[in-house]
Amino acid sequence: GGRDSHVLDDRHPAILTLCFPQSFPYGFSGQRPRGMSFPAYCRHLLHRVPRTQFGGNLMLLARMYDICVRHESMVQVGITMNMRPHLGEPAACVPCDVIRAMGTILALPYRHSQRRQLLAQQSPLVKVLVEGARLSTLRLDLTDAYYNGARSKMHAAALTIGWPPLFFTVNPADMHAACAVMASGQVLDFDDDGRPQHIPSTVEKWRRVKDDPYSCAALLVATKEVLVEELFGFTPGAMQQTNPRCFCGLTFEVAVKVEQSGRLALHIHGVAHVADMWP
């Protein structure tokens, strides 16, 4: 472009018309109508003929997918907070016991029963401070952020590809916690029912594991990669499926998150876009 050129905002109603003039020979007459959402506009185009001009145009599908992911992400992550100047100066005059009570209450979920009980026992000053802090701050859960990101990708994939997503959860037994400790040079003993023996020493060993995070991280990654390869046919590091004859068959995309609890038990959650849900 020239000196006055600029990047076109993907919220512009004519974004697809300008990027794919071969699919819209009549120019701006094919742009998104006023009041129509972008997903509805995409569904309308995907059902139009000739198919090679719209639904069969892979570059157009990829652009639709990219814009849908961006729009979904923007809807889910939009945090705005106005801060007044010198807002924190009056906090220096608040007694320590009030600050301590306020922190205890704010640490609990908003609808927790214990939170309501503690709040009812406090002075009006604590109640005002807690309510003010709640209105001016926002809790952001990283697990929710992951699922929101994966959800936006699956929404876009469902729109452009059309196959239903598969949500899966794998919760391995406590023996994986023992593997994590052994990888760090420690050994744990378990009962027949899977519960660890010698609780005090067991807790101490789990604490020592934190000194060797590399071994724990390597075990988490290895477990995830084996499951993804066996279930969905994605070899470690592959962006596309390498074995369509795997357990779940043809799979287009997999997003996996590994969670590690305080006991080092593994919890693997994810979503996959599988071509055929039912064999």
Q: How many CB atoms lie within 10 A of CB 206?
A: 19
Q: What is the 3-state secondary structure (H, E, C) of 200-256?
A: HHHHHHHHHHCCCHHHHHHHHHHHHHHHHHHHHCCCCCCCCCCCCCCCCCCEEEEEE
Of how many residues is the chain composed?
279
pLDDT tens-place string over residues 173-198: 555 666 666 666 667 677 766 666 77
Is this model's pTM higher than 0.75 or not? no
How far is 188 from 177, CA to CA, in rounded Å? 9
Q: What's the gap between Cα 242 and its chain centre?
A: 25
pLDDT band, very low/low/confident/very high, at 50 (cuts 50, 70, 90): confident
How far is 31 from 12, CA to CA, in rounded Å? 9
Domain ranges of the chain: 15-75, 163-274
pLDDT band, very low/low/confident/very high, at 233 (cuts 50, 70, 90): very high
Region 132-160: mean pLDDT is 63
Q: What whole-number percentage of the chain has pLDDT above 70?
A: 57
pLDDT at 86: 59
pLDDT tens-place string over residues 216-226: 667 777 778 88
For the chain, state the CA radius of gyration: 26
